[in-house]
Amino acid sequence: MSDLSHIRNFSIIAHIDHGKSTLADRFIQHCGGLSAREMNAQVLDSMDIERERGITIKAQSVTLNYTARDGQIYQLNFIDTPGHVDFSYEVSRSLSACEGALLVVDAGQGVEAQSVANCYTAIEQGLEVLPILNKMDLPQADPDKVRKEIEEIIGIDATEACLVSAKSGMGIEDALEYLVENIPPPEGDREAPLQALIIDSWFDNYLGVVSLVRVKQGVLRKRDKIMPKSTRKVHQVDGVGIFTPKRLETGILQAGEVGFVVAGIKEIQGAPVGDTLVNAQHPDVAALPGFKKIKPQVYAGIFTISSDDYEDFRDALAKLTLNDASLFYEPETSDALGFGFRCGFLGMLHMEIIQERLEREYDLDLITTAPTVIYEVVKKNGDIVQVDNPSRLPEVGDIQEMREPIARCNILVPQDYLGNVITLCVEKRGTQKDMLFLGTQVSVVYDIPMAEVVLDFFDRLKSVSRGYASLDYSFDRFETASLSRLDVMINGERVDALAIIVHHDHVQHRGRVLTEKMKELIPRQMFDVAIQAAVGGKIVARQTVKALRKNVTAKCYGGDASRKKKLLEKQKAGKKRMKQVGNVEIPQSAFLAVLKVDG
Partner 1 sequence: MGELPLPPLALYVHLPWCERKCPYCDFNSHESRNLPETAYIDSLLADLEADLPFVQGRVIQTLFIGGGTPSLFSAAGIGRLMQGIGQRVALADALEATLEANPGSAEAEKFAGFRAAGINRLSLGIQSFQNEQLAALGRVHDSDQAHAAVAAARRAGFQRINLDLMHGLPAQGASAAMADLATASGYQTGHLSWYQLTIEQNTVFYKQPPILPVEDVLADIQDAGEIQLAAAGLEQYEVSAWAAAGEQCRHNLNYWQFGDYLGIGAGAHGKVSFSDGRIMRYAKRRQPDAYLAAAGDWRVQSQWLTDAEKPGEYMLNALRLNSGFALADYAARTGLPPSTLQPALDTLTARGLLLQEGTRVRASALGRRFLDSVITEFLA
Q: Determine which residue in the list 69, 433, 564, 577 makes contact with partner 1, applying CB under 8 A.
A: 564
Find the shortest distance in angstroms from Cβ 434 to partner 1.
57
Find the shortest distance in angstroms from Cβ 322 to partner 1.
41
Residue 544 or 571 with smaller CB distance to partner 1: 571
Find the shortest distance in angstroms from Cβ 490 to partner 1.
18
Residue 302 or 586 with smaller CB distance to partner 1: 586
Q: Is 381 in the site for partner 1 (CB under 8 A)?
A: no
Residue 7 CA: distances (Å) to CA of 55, 242, 273, 397, 571: 28, 14, 24, 64, 62
Find the shortest distance in angstroms from Cβ 588 to partner 1.
19
Q: Is 561 in the site for partner 1 (CB under 8 A)?
A: yes
Residue 397 or 558 with smaller CB distance to partner 1: 558
Q: How far apart are CA 291 and CA 434, in angstroms?
A: 30
Q: Is 571 in the site for partner 1 (CB under 8 A)?
A: yes
Q: How far apart are CA 477 and CA 493, in angstroms?
A: 36
Find the shortest distance in angstroms from Cβ 80 to partner 1.
48
Of 177, 24, 11, nearest to 97 (Cα)? Answer: 11
Q: Is 572 in the site for partner 1 (CB under 8 A)?
A: yes
Give the contact letters, 540-559, x = binds to partner 1 (CB under 8 A), - = no. --------xxxxxxxxxxxx
Looking only at the bridges linking them, the beta strands covering 162-163 and 128-134 are: parallel
| Piece of 25-33, 301-309, 497-505, 563-571 that binds partner 1 (CB under 8 A) | 563-571
Q: Is 293 in the site for partner 1 (CB under 8 A)?
A: no
Encode 124-172 in three state secondary structure: HCCCEEEEEEECCCCCCCCHHHHHHHHHHHHCCCCCCCEECECCCCECH
Q: Is 577 in the site for partner 1 (CB under 8 A)?
A: no
Find the shortest distance in angstroms from Cβ 303 to partner 1.
24
Find the shortest distance in angstroms from Cβ 523 to partner 1.
12
Q: How many residues bind partner 1 (CB under 8 A)?
A: 22
Residue 380 or 570 with smaller CB distance to partner 1: 570
Q: How far apart are CA 172 and CA 32, in angstroms?
A: 13
| Piece of 113-121, 371-379, 470-478, 569-577 that binds partner 1 (CB under 8 A) | 569-577
Q: Is residue 571 within 8 Å of residue 565, measured between CB atoms?
A: no
Find the shortest distance in angstroms from Cβ 556 to partner 1.
6
Q: Is 568 in the site for partner 1 (CB under 8 A)?
A: yes
Stretch 322-361 residues interacting with partner 1 (CB under 8 A) = none
Tell me the CB-side half-sphere exposure of residue 250, using CA atoms within 13 A: 19
Q: Determine which residue in the list 69, 380, 575, 577 makes contact with partner 1, applying CB under 8 A.
A: 575
Residue 436 or 548 with smaller CB distance to partner 1: 548
Q: Is residue 597 within 8 Å of residue 510, measured between CB atoms?
A: yes
Find the shortest distance in angstroms from Cβ 528 to partner 1.
14
Q: Is residue 350 within 8 Å of residue 326, measured between CB atoms?
A: yes
Q: Is 36 in the site for partner 1 (CB under 8 A)?
A: no
146-150 own/partner pairs: CB under 8 Å, 24+ apart: 146/105, 146/106, 146/107, 146/110, 146/111, 148/439, 149/110, 149/111, 149/438, 149/439, 149/440, 149/441, 150/103, 150/105, 150/111
Q: Is residue 404 within 8 Å of residue 478, measured between CB atoms?
A: yes
Q: Is 576 in the site for partner 1 (CB under 8 A)?
A: no
Q: How far apart are CA 102 and CA 87, in angstroms?
A: 18
Residue 41 or 554 with smaller CB distance to partner 1: 554
Residue 360 or 576 with smaller CB distance to partner 1: 576
Find the shortest distance in angstroms from Cβ 558 to partner 1.
5
Find the shortest distance in angstroms from Cβ 488 to partner 1.
25
Q: Is residue 236 within 8 Å of residue 243, measured between CB atoms?
A: no
Of 440, 436, 381, 385, nearest to 411 (Cα)? Answer: 436
Q: Is 528 in the site for partner 1 (CB under 8 A)?
A: no
Q: Is 569 in the site for partner 1 (CB under 8 A)?
A: yes
Kindly list the residues in this chain that would bind partner 1 in the complex (CB under 8 A).
526, 548-559, 561-562, 564-565, 568-569, 571-572, 575
